[in-house]
Amino acid sequence: MATLVTFHAHPDDESIAMGGVMAKAADEGHRVVLVVATRGEHGEVADGFLDPGEELWQRRDQETRACAEILGVARVEFLDYVDSGMIGMPENDLPSCFWQADIEEAAGRLAAILTEEQADVVTVYDENGVYGHPDHIQVHRVGMRAAELAGTRRVYMSTINRDHLERNFLAALEAGAELPGEISAEALRELGVSEDRITTGVDVRPWLGRKRSAMAAHASQISETSFFLALAPEMFESAFGTEWFIRSDAPPGTVETDLFNGLS
């Protein structure tokens, strides 16, 4: 069996992007390690949600560990950087934030975990961080460098297949489905990458129940009325039933259905 180290920017990113793959890998006997760069200090939270005196980062730490248990994660580590907030926000300039982190120093922290775990596979995000969030872009930069330092040869960039997503949402509209107001053709075109860059699509439909539960575990950020959890079951399956990746060393034309092809 292999060891998968999956690197993410904030609590809840792991369940949205890769909850299915993580649960699938754990069920198949692989060791799954979750590394999160920040504790999501600058996320939004509803008034009265937190207990008196409780900080958001404390709740998000707890939510991450609950999510990890649902998905079968063997180890959770935080790199202890501060959430950088959305692009253009004042939090981008905090010296302690992940966006301002020295790439070599941050990569060294992650590489130490990769080396300790003897990781066979590491996942990061695509070069635009899937949708342009500064911490997600930094995950790509730091993760790619950490893989070099640790000698982890199999690197997958988690992404969104924008062509697939657009086809499915347009088909849903034609069938008369009502989509959340956040969804538009323009918004879809800003996500992920075009289909011709995708090397690996993993069918995670058998694990969608676990993926949804893992997302719901991040209740401070993903409420039952949120875009994600408010989707009708068929739309949830359409949006999240396949998780998409670009294998960094794959030759053109590569088509895979698993992150562990060729690994024992």
Q: What is the CATH number of the domain that holds 26?
A: 3.40.50.10320
Q: Which whole number is the average pLDDT over 86-98?
A: 87
pLDDT bin (cut points 50, 70, 90) of residue 199 is very high
State which amino acid sits at residue 73: V
- Please report whether residue 70 resides in a domain: yes
pLDDT bin (cut points 50, 70, 90) of residue 191 is confident
Q: Which whole number is the average pLDDT over 117-145?
A: 97
- Please report whether residue 254 resides in a domain: no
Looking at the predicted structure, is the pLDDT value of residue 173 above 70?
no
- Please report whether residue 143 resides in a domain: yes
State which amino acid sits at residue 27: D
Looking at per-residue confidence, does 186 or 254 come out higher? 254
Range of the domain at 115: 3-247
Mean pLDDT of the chain: 92
> Rounded to an integer, what distance in angstroms lies between the CA atom of residue 141 and that of residue 157?
11
State which amino acid sits at residue 34: L
So what's the pLDDT on residue 88?
A: 85
Q: Is 155 helix (H, G, I), strand (E, B) or coil?
A: strand
Question: What global pTM score does this model have?
Answer: 0.93
- Please report whether residue 110 resides in a domain: yes
> Rounded to an integer, what distance in angstroms lies between the CA atom of residue 119 and that of residue 231?
35
State which amino acid sits at residue 33: V
Q: How many domains are there within the chain?
A: 1
Q: Which helix (H) or strand (E) holds 6?
A: strand 3-8
- Please report whether residue 264 resides in a domain: no
- Please report whether residue 255 resides in a domain: no
